[in-house]
Amino acid sequence: TKGQVVVVGGGSGGATAAKYLKRFDPNLDVVLIEPIPRHYTCYGSNWYLGGLTRMDRLAQTFTVLRDTHGIQVIHDTVTAIDRDNHKVHLAGGDRLSYQKLVLSPGIDFRYDAVAGYGPEVAETIPHAWKAGPQTQTLRRQLEAMPDGGVFVMVVPGNPFRCPPGPYERASLVAHYFKQHKPRSKIIILDNKETFSKQGLFMDGWQQLYGNMIEWVPSSQGGQVEEVDAATRTVYADGGLTRFQADVLNFIPPQEAGRIAVESGLTGATGWCPVNQLTFESAMDPDIFIIGDASIAGQMPKSGHSANTQGKVAAAAIVRTMAGMEMLALSTVNTCYSLVGPEYGISIAAVYRYSDGEITGVPGSGGVSPADASLHFRRQEARYAQGWYDSITADIWG
């Protein structure tokens, strides 16, 4: 009989896994479950916030996966995983059997972490850390903000989705302000002491935006403890420091997507421990967890990571079902960030599994040079667009 693999989540990890499962074994029945018919990528959402692209350019659909690759796509939500009976329950009432299950549910927010912020508050004080309506709310607020206003971003500690993401966002909001509201200010309240590509970002900010962006590390008042939604005020430093925002972007601390938590697949940290050779859950040998939800050694929580992990899990499942042993595969990540429309920077690494963990291969990657020419930065900004086009084609095309 044909094997049946169910994939939960049609984002970067899940859609890749579905496509490559079918590619590695065309005889498999692959079912992809994703509630939202148009997936808006988070990558590129900062470009939209800065006015560089339209929202509909970030929409990915499942037509090609269904019509060309033969994947059964169901637009529904998985409400429970019955691990004992190998079944998933759908909100619409159906139950589906699986032999192997791939979970790529992304993140959910730890709304209990900071007083005064919760799901209701997020309607007016957006996190915009899942792309879609939240991103549009934030853009509308930035458009409505008067010149001379203050945009405050609250950034969580590690680990979280997309380590350079908040700083690219600050950059492109600065680009928008510089054109339309040049007297405005951006304050980043950070729950850590250092951040990804810090030197490159800070150099770029100075060159392009002067002193518009102020970054406050946790030891200097950046550790936010309370939000007053009504006045858009945040309190830090045991109440000693307060910042009042005209537009407030609060990015809460995160954990694995709800379904993974509720199915008992997360550890004490809120993320999913896996065998890093295969992405098989440490709690269940028939469930594979990839993308942001997983603990993947040194790999960052990025779309590119989720994409390579989807291929590894697909290979592991096909080999296991065929009774073959898994090979140690190399994985890769590149994160481009735009500091301005013509100013790109990047970080890249190749990873290898050894001794139970995924670690970066020494000398395999790195960040953009500190002293590069503007021509070089312009080239990297083009590569960022090229990366977007090729990764989305690999995942949903």
Residue 274 half-sphere exposure, CB side, CA atoms within 13 Å? 31
- Position among 19, 25, 32, 34 found at the interface with ligand FAD (CB under 6 A): 34
Rounded to the nearest whole angstrom, what is the least distance from the CB of residue 28 to ligand FAD in the complex?
Answer: 19
Comparing CB distances to ligand FAD, the nearer of 21 and 335 is 335
# binding residues, ligand FAD (CB under 6 A): 38
Could you tell me which stretch among 31-39, 145-153, 194-202, 344-352 binds ligand FAD (CB under 6 A)? 31-39
- Looking at the DSSP bridge assignments, the partners of residue 241 are 236
- DSSP string of 327-367, one letter each residue: P--EEEEEEEEEEETTEEEEEEEEEEEETTEEEEPTTS-EE
The answer to whether 152 touches 242, Cβ cutoff 8 Å, is no
14 phi and psi, to 5 degrees? Answer: -65, -45
Query: Any idea how long the chain is?
Result: 397
From candidates 36, 64, 321, 367, binder to ligand FAD by CB under 6 A: 36
Q: Which of 6, 7, 11, 249 binds ligand FAD (CB under 6 A)?
A: 11
Which lies closer to ligand FAD via its Cβ, residue 205 or residue 271? 271
Q: Indicate which single residue of 47, 98, 129, 351 sits in contact with ligand FAD (rule: CB under 6 A).
A: 129
Residue from 19, 39, 69, 377 touching ligand FAD (CB under 6 A): that is 39
Q: Rounded distance, CA 266 to CA 263, Å?
A: 8
The residues in 236-295 that bind ligand FAD, with binding defined as CB under 6 A, are 257, 259, 291-293
Q: Which residues contact 152 (CB under 8 A, 6 or more apart)?
A: 186, 187, 188, 189, 232, 234, 243, 245, 247, 248, 249
- Comparing CB distances to ligand FAD, the nearer of 9 and 149 is 9
Among 8, 32, 318, 358, indicate the residue that binds ligand FAD (CB under 6 A). Answer: 8
Report 62-101 residues binding ligand FAD (CB under 6 A): 77-78
292 to 331: interface string for ligand FAD, x by CB under 6 A: xx-------xxxx-x-------------------------
Site string for ligand FAD, 99-128 (x = CB under 6 A): -----xxx----------------------
Using rule CB under 6 A, residue 344 touches ligand FAD? no
- Whole-angstrom Cα distance, residue 248 to residue 125? 6
CB-based contacts of 397: which residues, under 8 Å, 6+ apart?
64
DSSP codes, 159-210 = S-S-TTHHHHHHHHHHHHHHHH-TT-EEEEEESSS--TTHHHHHHHHHHHHT
- Name which position in 149, 165, 222, 253 contacts ligand FAD (CB under 6 A): 165
CB 353 within 8 A of CB 276: yes
- Least distance from ligand FAD to the Cβ atom of residue 325, Å: 26
**Of 224, 245, 242, 204, which Cα lies nearest the Cα of 336?**
204
Residues in the site for ligand FAD, rule: CB under 6 A? 8-14, 33-36, 39, 42-43, 45-46, 77-78, 104-106, 129, 161-162, 165, 169, 257, 259, 291-293, 301-304, 306, 335-336
